[in-house]
Amino acid sequence: MTTESGSPRYIRLQIELIAEIVDEKALQAAALEQVQNDEYLEDDERAEAIEAINLDPSGAVAHFIDPVALVENIPGIELAEAGWETQPVDYDAEAEEWEPFEAGAED
């Protein structure tokens, strides 16, 4: 679908971030607290989230990502769909070969 000007109506916004976990226990505790206090989670979703947080600290980070907050104050758009994931990654800030959005990389 296109807008009145003929440009595409939908856009894909890709953002890649690398975050360093400097206090795993604080991250885990904060994520568990957020999941426990989330009134919109069903019991099975809550249990699944708690398991993911306890299994891998990268799973804890996902509970703080809010794609709605990225676009909610931009006039003229509404969030149609969002997906995100967190995963551990080997990262070396000094390495020249590190390039965000490498050719063929899809999220």
Q: What is the mean pLDDT of residues 80-97?
A: 83
The pLDDT tens digits of the residues spanning 14-55 come to 888 889 999 999 999 999 999 999 999 999 999 999 999 999
Rg of the chain taking only CA atoms, in angstroms:
17
104, pLDDT greater than 80? no
Residue 47 domain flag:
yes
Residue 40: which domain range? Answer: 1-87
Give residue 98's pLDDT band: very low, low, confident or very high (50, 70, 90): low
* Cα–Cα distance, 6 to 19 (Å, whole number): 38
Q: Specify the length of the chain in residues.
A: 107
Domain membership of residue 42 (yes or no) is yes
Q: Is residue 69 part of a domain?
A: yes
Query: Is 65 part of any domain?
Result: yes
Biggest CA pair distance of the chain:
51
User: How many whole angstroms separate alpha carbon 81 and alpha carbon 69?
Assistant: 13
User: CB–CB of 29/37 below 8 Å?
Assistant: no
Residue 103 lies in a domain: no
Asked if residues 63 and 56 have their Cβ atoms less than 8 Å apart, the reply is no
pLDDT over threshold 80, residue 100: no
- Give pTM, 2 decimals: 0.68
Q: How many domains does the chain have?
A: 1
pLDDT at residue 8 in the model: 76
Establish if 3 belongs to a structural domain. Answer: yes
Residue 50 covered by a domain: yes
**45: in domain:** yes
